């Protein structure tokens, strides 16, 4: 008497256009994320790998730690850098951040 009867309703057929419009913000967000964050990072990593592969003996470099030095020996994964007269230190190739013009380090 106080409780009304509940009747089952058939599910409405999903409108494909409204489903696509609901996913559109998610797709647009991924596209913007790709062009703003992912693509520039991939480009920078590719340029760094090219620079590290092109290192040669005698190049003057800046390391990730901020040290400056001249390359004296090259290996596959490591290189020896002269940071002062008679002082050589071994570093990983990937720690090189920048190659300086010749004659920068006195």
Q: pLDDT tens for residues 34-44?
A: 999 999 999 99
Beta-strand relationship, 68-74 and 60-63: antiparallel
Q: Cα separation of 3 and 37, whole Å?
A: 57
- Please give the average per-residue pLDDT across 91-102, as a whole number: 95
Confidence label for 8 from pLDDT (cuts 50, 70 and 90)? low
Q: Cα separation of 53 and 76, whole Å?
A: 10
Confidence (pLDDT) at 13: 56
Long-range contacts (CB closer than 8 Å, 24 or more residues apart) made by 79-82 = 79/55
Weakest mean pLDDT among 21-25, 31-35, 76-80 = 21-25
Domain boundaries, the chain: 15-54, 56-106
Long-range contacts (CB closer than 8 Å, 24 or more residues apart) made by 80-86 = none
Confidence (pLDDT) at 1: 63
Domain 56-106 has CATH 2.30.30.30: yes
- Please give the average per-residue pLDDT across 69-89, as a whole number: 95
């Amino acid at each position: 008497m106080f409780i009304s009867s509940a009747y089952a309703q058939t599910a409405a057929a999903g409108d494909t256009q409204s489903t696509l419009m609901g996913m559109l913000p998610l797709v647009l967000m991924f596209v913007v994320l790709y062009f703003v964050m992912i693509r520039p990072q991939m480009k920078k990593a590719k340029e760094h790998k090219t620079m590290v592969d092109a290192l040669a003996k005698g190049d003057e470099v800046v390391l990730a730690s901020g040290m400056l030095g001249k390359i004296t020996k090259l290996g596959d994964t490591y290189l020896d850098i002269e940071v002062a007269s008679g002082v050589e230190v071994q570093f990983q190739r990937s720690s090189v951040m920048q190659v300086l013009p010749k004659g920068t380090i006195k």
